[in-house]
Amino acid sequence: MRKDLNATIIVLVMLFCCTCFVLCVAPTKNQQYPVAGTSGATPPTTLSDLGKPCKSNEEWHMKADQIGFWSGGILVEESMKDQEIFSMLGRHNISNTKEVKISVPHHIGHYISVNETQDQFLVDSIRSSEYTWNVSFSSPMYAFFSPEMKTYGDRKKVPVFLFSSDKFNETMVVDNLLGRGIPLRKTKIVRLGYFQSLDTASKEGVLRELNGDQGVLFALKEYLEGDIC
């Protein structure tokens, strides 16, 4: 009887050890890099798809431009209704509205509107004190299609980026800029998720076309996160 009990205990211990071993060596799914500015709207990239880290933003952008590792979007006036946006996109053969995401400004999604007399002075002032005013004309995550500064009647519009901190949030940044007399304006951000199904040349062609539409303020590339160099 005692021998049978000992044998049972040994068998149970061996089964337990085997189970632990299987769990320890079981393969896990590839970890996925996040995609900038999206909530899973674009296909994720796994670690196995990525190469060595890029040494600079310029190298990252150059490689991303070559392989199309970016998502496209446009900025439109804040007053533009969603239905008007979809109607405009339809004129450019962009009909998959389920993948189009419209959002409010955050880091991106603002511009300044200046006249001829303000133009160079104001732009130079902002460039010389970006970190004082928490505003910049560039961001490593985005690139606007040329021309970045557009003329509308007697006004010129140029996109800017806002950056905030724990002690100086975005609302405070906006209030500070407006209080300094900076003609800051808000937009609607329109991300075009369908771009993942197009080749690089086609994506750029559509964005250049949109950039020339009077209803579009600015067309842009949003670079996806991941080491691709």
Is residue 225's pLDDT more than 50? yes
SS3 216: coil
**57-67 and 200-211 helices cross at what angle (nearest 10)?**
100
Most confident of the following: 43-57, 108-122, 126-140, 187-201: 187-201
Contacts of 34 (CB under 8 A, 6+ apart): 225
Name the band, by pLDDT with cuts 50, 70 and 90, for residue 143: very high
CA-based nearest residue to 190, from 83, 39, 72, 27: 72
Domain ranges of the chain: 2-31, 45-223
Mean pLDDT of 179-197: 89
> Which residues, 6 or more positions from 148, have their beta carbon under 8 angstroms from its beta carbon?
137, 158, 159, 218
- Whether the full predicted model's pTM is greater than 0.95, yes or no, is no
- Say how far apart CA 8 and CA 216 lie, in whole Å: 76
> What pLDDT, on the 0 to 100 scale, is given for residue 209?
96
